[in-house]
Structure 1
């Protein structure tokens, strides 16, 4: 015969709580989700960034940018500065005097280069190609920062879940001990309720921590498209300081150079290209069957007008000034980010030293409190208070340990270092 349990019997509640936490499908799904991301020793942080770059949406913009640069090269190396044109003219007197006068004329119009125009277009194409390299490096660094944050976000929430699970197990063990002592008459029923409430609270923290793991893993999958995590992704602090070799600063500098090239090109192209036209005319006079054929050569030189060139020059000057301002704003932002990353790294190191000492003290206090509670020298309320303080000290220490590695990655990111 199985022992008979009342519905609200303490042992039944403890057994139900255990089943709820460790045997229900919901918890099984959570554990299964926690292992959705496989750990790979072959996947390095560098490889992960490279794989993420390939699928990052902005990579399509780089492909289009490359096509644009190739088009600039083709235009600069072309035989003519613009497209040629042909013309065809027919003139007759059929609708007027109708004396048989006929005239046909065909013309080929060829634009010619302005002085310095080809060199200006070549410089624009060349500097745009150099800027493409830095633009790609800047995008790669941006993706690297996103990958770094995604990885350490998972590491942080995973460790918080580990601590929450440890706390929950501890609370269940305490609840079991309290149940025994209540049954033996050593503790009051109110102590059992305190222990139960502590277990419920620990369960809530555990569920929330496991939910955060799911969110972090899902964000990681969306970003990388992978179901694997690198086994090692900690970084050593870079010795590089922030300087003009930062990819974003190089990119901004090249954009200024390209804008200056566009401004120079506009100065050259303030007027339309001259054209040379070669024509052939076939003419027959009135009441004359004799055909006369001639060949002509025409040079067309357009004049420069302020009304046409001023708006183009204004746009070029505005673009140049905007790129200069953007570069300066970028420098301010990068210097601030680097300063904050360096300062946060130093602060976290100091905090870790303090929290490590606090953790040691809290663990010793917990050991003594457990011993005093077992001997009946202190009450459950004091034990729960010391236990909560010890948990908080451990959480703070472990969080600083992970935060120190995360801040190291932030520092390298701010310095412009790729993993």
Structure 2
């Protein structure tokens, strides 16, 4: 038994450097993901919308320049008459439109931030699943290594007893066959672990995975998915408010300066102000208003559906964790009993009181029970990670 424990410790294969935390792994995966670039772009767009909403004018001003020559030719005058007009047209905000645009810009910034948090939460779920898979495969590798070592020792003991004439040649062949089977299982476990590590590196870029399970924590004030859906709903409301405030095209205030020159006469200067108010544009904005209303109704429906789904996922995760914890206790108790039985039968075998097939069957039963307990421990850790994910907890 002491030799088994030593083998388990040696087979652990702990890295020489500190393993990353789950938060560090998620951050590394986030920096490599396309969702990070998309979130950055959305935040830049929201910042640009906020800047535009804070402008003094509803749209960029326009500069106008008109120049007319030869409008009239006076008798006896040399040269041509010239009329020059220079103006600036400034689009004006409608009453309440600027405040509505600013509220929409704030809602877009909040939607971009919550959408980024939701995308990070989704990525965290994938990282947690990969980490749970790696943890399970590492535990299986340690277990198969210990089983291989134990069966190798048993095969060597049987071979010595066969040489001494205590056991038959068939017993040595059976022990060697069991050892070879254990070697094959260990090799397969190593291959599965190597493949999982490659998948982990592709997602996170890290060579190692977290070695410690995440502690259970209280849920955040609001689930990231629900926060993102609520932000989209608020954004839809603000867009509809903007549509209500934008009843027509923006009016334009124009400032003009005019100069007339004619041959033989003094120049004439003047300054004018004009206001351009578009009429009859409400009907043309009906499709945009209908689209804004449809967006609002869709956002409300999506938030209702999402609340139901989040609650269902949370209940399922809690149930799975409770069942996994109960099954782990049962599997661990069974593994302890079968290992104790295997130790007793091994002593009986060493004393020549038990045949080798019975010794091998006891070893196989104990190994299978320990493997089941190991898998169940990994399943419990995975169930705990899924519960944290269902609660909306970010690492």
TM category, shorter: 0.7 to 0.9
Say if 2:72 and 2:80, in contact at 8 Å, map to a contact too: no
Cα deviations across residues 286-311 of structure 1 (Å, max 9, x unaligned)?
x8745433333221111243553122
- TM-aligned CA deviation for residue 167 of structure 1: 1.2
Structure 1 contact 120–264 (Cα < 8 Å) conserved: yes
TM-score by length of 1: 0.80
DSSP 3-state at the match of 2:273: strand
Aligned to 1:22: none
Corresponding residue for residue 106 of structure 1: 86
Q: 1:201 aligns with which of 181, 192, 195?
A: 181
Check whether the contact 1:370–1:383 (CA below 8 A) recurs between aligned residues: yes
Alignment length, in residue pairs?
382
- 2:251 is the alignment partner of 1:274: yes
What is the deviation of 1:119?
Answer: 0.7
User: Quick one: distance in 1 between partners of 2:208 and 2:166?
Assistant: 52
**Which sections of structure 2, spanning at least 5 residues, go unmatched?**
1-10
Tell me, yes or no, if structure 1 residue 74 matches structure 2 residue 51. Answer: yes
For residues 218 and 241 of structure 2, the distance between their equivalents in structure 1, rounded to whole angstroms, comes to: 40
Structure 1: distance between partners of 2:188 and 2:293: 55
Corresponding position of 2:378 = 402
Pairing of 1:258-297 with structure 2 (within 5 A): 258-284=235-261, 289-297=265-273
8 Å contact from structure 2 (residues 248, 282) kept in 1? no
Using structure 2 for the length normalisation, give the TM-score: 0.84
Instruction: Tell me the SS of whatever aligns to 1:108.
Output: strand
> Does the alignment pair 1:156 with 2:133?
no
Q: Quick one: which of 132, 138, 152 aligns to 2:118?
A: 138
Residue 175 of structure 1: how far off its partner (Å)? 2.1
1:91 and 1:237 mapped to 2: Cα distance?
80
Give a deviation string over 1:163-196, Cα, whole Å, max 9, x none.
1011111222222233334445554444433333
Q: CA deviation at 1:344?
A: 0.9
Shift of 1:378: 4.8
Q: SS where residue 231 of structure 2 aligns?
A: helix
CA displacement at 1:229 relative to structure 2:
5.1
Query: Residue 362 of structure 2: which of 380, 386, 400 is its match?
Result: 386
Question: Contact 1:111 / 1:273 at 8 angstroms: preserved in 2?
Answer: yes
Counterpart in 2 of 1:335?
311
2:37 counterpart residue number: 60
Q: Is the 8 A contact 1:104 1:283 kept in 2?
A: yes
The yes-or-no answer on 1:237 pairing with 2:216 is yes
Aligned counterpart in structure 2 of residue 84 of structure 1, from 48, 61, 77: 61
Alignment counterpart, residue 195 of structure 2, candidates 215, 227, 241: 215
Question: 1:40 maps to what in 2?
Answer: 18
Shift of 1:374: 4.0
Task: Kindly report which structure 2 residues correspond to 1:226-375, keeping only aligned pairs within 5 A, or say none.
Answer: 226-227=206-207, 233-240=212-219, 245-284=222-261, 289-305=265-281, 308-375=284-351
Contact 2:155 2:179 survives alignment (8 Å): yes
Do 1:237 and 1:412's aligned partners in 2 also have CA atoms closer than 8 Å?
yes
Query: Is residue 43–residue 113 contact of structure 2 (8 Å, CA) maintained in 1?
Result: no
Q: Is the contact made by 2:72 and 2:81 (CA closer than 8 Å) also made in structure 1?
A: no
Match of 2:372, SS state, is: helix
CA distance in 2: counterparts of 1:304 and 1:155, whole angstroms: 68
Find the aligned partners of 1:191 and 1:327 in 2 and give their Cα distance.
68
Runs of 4+ in 1 over 6 A off after TM superposition: 94-99
Question: Is the deviation greater in 80-89 or in 191-200?
Answer: 191-200
Describe how 1:179-190 pairs up with structure 2 within 5 A. 179-190=159-170
Would the aligned equivalents of 1:270 and 1:304 in 2 still touch at CA under 8 Å? no
